[in-house]
Amino acid sequence: MESTRVDKWLWAVRLFPTRTAATDACGGGHVRVNGAPAKAATTVRIGDRVTAHAGGRERVLEVVTVIDKRV
């Protein structure tokens, strides 16, 4: 797998408790991929930088592995 949806990836790395919460964060403008606002269907690849406001803080994550199932 080379890419996956950003909402699915955020849920899989346990940044959000549900995929719906990750989708809502994307729709609310709280998620950016490589500095650009991201919709839920935005794809992420290895090396991308994802910034998300979750749990009252800003988290900056780098995609090292593309996963779509919870770990």
pTM over 0.75: yes
What pLDDT shows up at residue 45?
97
What pLDDT shows up at residue 62?
97
What pLDDT shows up at residue 58?
96
The pair of three-digit structure tokens given for residue 71, joined into one six-digit string: 């770990």
Chain segment 27-41, per-residue pLDDT in tens: 999 999 999 999 999
**Predicted confidence (pLDDT) at residue 71 exceeds the cutoff of 90:** no
Cα separations in angstroms, 20 against 2, 11, 27, 71: 23, 9, 10, 18
